[in-house]
Amino acid sequence: MVKKKQNPLKIDFEKCVIEDKLLQIRKETDSTEPYLVKVWAIEINARSSKALIEFLRDDVQEKDPVSFLHLKRIKKSHRSGYLTVLVCSFELINEEVDFDELMANVKFDYLKLDEPIWVPIQGPGTKKLFMEWSAKYWPLIWRGNPNDQELNSYTFDMDKIKSVLQNITEKSRSLAANNHSKIPVVSAFVNPVDGEEIYMSDGREDGSELSHSCMRAIRQVAEQEQERRENALKTSGETETYLCLNFDVYTTHEPCSMCAMALIHSRIKRCIFIESMGKSGSLRPDSGDGYCIHDNRRLNSKYEVFQWIGDEFELPEIEPRVCC
């Protein structure tokens, strides 16, 4: 990751806008209360810390779905000469017997804490909160605002983004003008492996109520992959496409709850849309019921969402209740 100052992209970290054009969409998370998760903890003699660190590095760290990067692993115990250590999350190991099994072969003595420790799942946005949470829950490490880090780590090919958005805009306008479509929604799915772009429009007017452009594109990706696998003998060495893993999805209008969730199931990386759907949208916090389906902690899986806020792409209007 480049340092914030060296990032060639213009990023407004306060407003969460990239190059004045792409607004990051996420659930308002400026909460002053952290989301806490349970962690298994032990106490060890300070002399054992080398063996402990090796154990954490070799047997635990990689496997744990919860990141500990914002947390100090070790703090001094009340007993002098002893340390309290976070071993792993309850997400990794839920049952005590399994924890005991994990610890069965360690090369140091330890004492299991009677109660698990609750720690914030993510670092806070400000230094002040960092101090408060460190005192209240568990010592944290200040690495700056976590969302700044995240924004800074993303990559954007602005020319490619503009060109795909231009394409879906033109297709949408043409559907409205030439076909008198009332639902001129168009999506593009871009395969990260070869950059191939799949374009799909809404199919409701000739078919099922559920033929939204995203659903059709997801099926199209699967069909092409099916075909490719059938012909795989001829052209070996190609990489398999798994679902829509790490795809970039571009869509003219903010997706509805069905499509937003289908994108979760499809494991896409990023969705960029142009027009908000104030009543039926399920990504923006102020759209519809404020679902932010791509950024719901309880759903285990997420994707990045950005809205194009420049005025380059003018789209036909759609009745605001229509699910896109």
Partner 1 sequence: MEQRMKEMKPITGNDWQHMRTATKLARYALDHDETPVACIFVHTPTNQILAYGLNDTNKSLTGVAHAEFMGIAQIQRATGAHDREIYKDITLYVTVEPCIMCASALKQLGLRRVVFGCGNERFGGNGSILSIHSDESTAAANKYSSVPGLLRKEAILLLRYFYVRENERSPNPRVKAERKLDLETFPPMEWSRYVDRDEFMHCFGAENVRHFDDKTDLRDQVEWGLIDEPHDKVLELIQRQCDAFRLHTAKKFKS
Residues that bind partner 1 (CB under 8 A): 92-95, 97-98, 101, 207-211, 215, 218-219, 221-222, 225-226, 241-244, 256-259, 261-262, 264-267, 279-282, 287-289, 291, 293, 296, 298-300, 321, 323
Q: Coil, strand or helix: which one is 233?
A: coil
Q: Coil, strand or helix: which one is 76?
A: strand
Q: Which is nearer to partner 1, 20 or 101 (CB)?
A: 101
Answer whether 84's CB lies under 8 Å from 41's CB. yes
Q: Which is nearer to partner 1, 84 or 287 (CB)?
A: 287
Q: Which is nearer to partner 1, 105 or 155 (CB)?
A: 105
Q: Where are the alpha helices (DSSP H) in the chain?
A: 49-55, 96-103, 127-136, 146-153, 158-178, 213-230, 257-265
Shortest separation between residue 247's beta carbon and partner 1, angstroms: 12
Q: Which is nearer to partner 1, 151 or 218 (CB)?
A: 218
Shortest separation between residue 56's beta carbon and partner 1, angstroms: 17
Sign of CA dihedral 212, 269, 38, 88: positive
Residue 244 Cα distances to 6, 37, 274, 299, angstroms:
32, 30, 21, 18
Rounded to whole angstroms, the Cα distance separating 170 from 165 reads 9
Answer whether 283's CB lies under 8 Å from 305's CB. yes
Shortest separation between residue 229's beta carbon and partner 1, angstroms: 8
Strand segments (E) across 182-281: 186-190, 197-201, 248-253, 270-275
Q: Which is nearer to partner 1, 213 or 287 (CB)?
A: 287
Rounded to whole angstroms, the Cα distance separating 106 from 99 reads 12
Shortest separation between residue 321's beta carbon and partner 1, angstroms: 7
Shortest separation between residue 65's beta carbon and partner 1, angstroms: 11
Shortest separation between residue 41's beta carbon and partner 1, angstroms: 18
Q: Which is nearer to partner 1, 165 or 293 (CB)?
A: 293
Q: Which is nearer to partner 1, 16 or 66 (CB)?
A: 66
Rounded to whole angstroms, the Cα distance separating 168 from 313 reads 9
Q: What are phi and psi of 89, to 5 degrees?
A: -80, 160
Shortest separation between residue 266's beta carbon and partner 1, angstroms: 5
Shortest separation between residue 199's beta carbon and partner 1, angstroms: 18
In the block, residue with structure tokens 């792993």: 88
Q: Which is nearer to partner 1, 266 or 307 (CB)?
A: 266
Answer whether 87's CB lies under 8 Å from 96's CB. no
Q: What phi-psi label fits residue 290: left (phi over 0), alpha (psi between -120 and 50 degrees) or beta?
A: left
Pairing type for strands 82-89 and 17-18 reads unpaired
